[in-house]
A and B are shown apart, each in its own frame.
Chain A
Amino acid sequence: MAVTSGHVLPCGCDVEQVWEAIGLSGGHARSCPHCAAVRESLLVLRAATAELARDQAEPSSGLVSRVMSAVRAEVRRSDVLPSPGDGPARMSMRAVAMAGDVGEDPMCVRLVVTDVDGRSLDHLNGT
């Protein structure tokens, strides 16, 4: 399907048509001076694009731990305020189980349950 780019060449072709024909060895795009010039620019663009794609810039090494701290804070929050069916519920279920075992007020029980990594929430509360 033809796409009008708004960049119509004096010969009537547009840049997208030249792009689609870039692999062809003959035809109008190779013989027409307007299309041939655009084709050369597109070849440079293609090479620079491949170079851009090879650039494997990495985020800073602390990003994973920042994300996971936020996720764990979320898990702790959902323990205090159980969200109705929206998001992971494992903490809440553990808290309920512990409440049953200890037979205390769930808000107090929260202090003795562990998070999903097995660390105590007391320990994590300060972080």
Chain B
Amino acid sequence: MGVAEAVALDDATLVARSREGDVRAYEHLVRRYQGPMYRLALRIVGGSGDAEDVVQDVFLTAWRRLGQLHDDGAFLGWLYRSTTNQCLNVLRKRKPHADTDLDEHESPAPRTRPEREVEMNAQLDALRAALRGLTPQQRACWVLREVHGRSYDEIAEAIGTTQQAVRGRLARARAQLAEAMAPWR
């Protein structure tokens, strides 16, 4: 299977081939989704090292469990659930206040940037800091919904709760984040 062919194949086909033991087909799935899963993990756990560990665990576990995935087209939803779960596990094991390895924002604003951009960077920093102040479950709900656009149903399944509980956590998260953004209004 050439690269161009694999790129054109849909998830279901690559999943079916992977299940038959086609490691190359699986590598294309990893390449396709490592970015979004990494960014999801980074936004929930905060540190790039932990986020990469999460992604590695998720894709290895997915490989092991391909035989249990009954709907080949459901692979991406499965990845979102698995990544969210793994992030919450990492946060559960992490000692309270051990945020020394958390990444600071990626790009400090050079002085030459336009004022508007500097202000946006400051707002983004404030948002990231406020996200760290949420509970892991609130943060997971908010990131999945507002940044990754997942459905309430998917989020409920990912964190093992009801849609109503997801809406409640989202509401609390949004209220807390809005308060943190108040200085810029």
Contact = CB atoms under 8 A, between A and B. Distances in A.
Interface residues of A, number: 51
A63 B23 contact: no
A34 interface: no
Nearest to A85: B67
30 contacts: A3-B167, A5-B171, A6-B172, A7-B179, A19-B174, A41-B179, A42-B174, A42-B178, A44-B182, A47-B120, A48-B123, A55-B124, A57-B38, A57-B48, A58-B35, A59-B34, A59-B48, A64-B30, A64-B31, A64-B34, A70-B56, A74-B64, A75-B21, A87-B66, A88-B19, A88-B63, A88-B67, A89-B21, A90-B22, A117-B24
A117 B26 CA distance: 12
B185 A44 contact: yes
The A interface is mostly helix, strand or loop, or mixed, namely helix
Interface in A34-68: 37-38, 40-45, 47-49, 51-53, 55-60, 63-64, 66-68
B159 interface: no
B12 interface: no
Contacts of B185: 37, 40-41, 43-44
B27 interface: yes
A49 B147 CA distance: 7
Given A60-B52, A87-B67, A7 B60 contact: no
A52 B34 contact: no
A116 B23 CA distance: 7
Nearest to A92: B21
B104 interface: no
Given A38-B178, A45-B174, A59 B35 contact: yes
Contacts of B178: 15, 38, 41-42, 44-45
Contact of B171 (A15, A68, A70): A15
A37 B30 CA distance: 44
Given A51-B123, A74-B64, A67 B56 contact: yes
| Complex A-B, nearest 8 residue pairs according to Cβ-Cβ distance, in ascending order | A90-B21, A40-B185, A5-B171, A7-B175, A88-B21, A15-B175, A59-B38, A41-B178
Interface in B61-107: 63-68, 106
A92 B16 CA distance: 18
The listed residue with most A CB atoms (<10 A of its CB), out of B23, B35, B68, is B23
B133 interface: no
B132 interface: no
B137 to A, nearest CB: 15
A5 B51 contact: no
Interface in B21-53: 21-24, 26-27, 30-31, 34-35, 38-39, 42-43, 48, 51-52
B134 interface: no
A41 B19 CA distance: 48
Nearest to B149: A53
Contacts of B177: 45
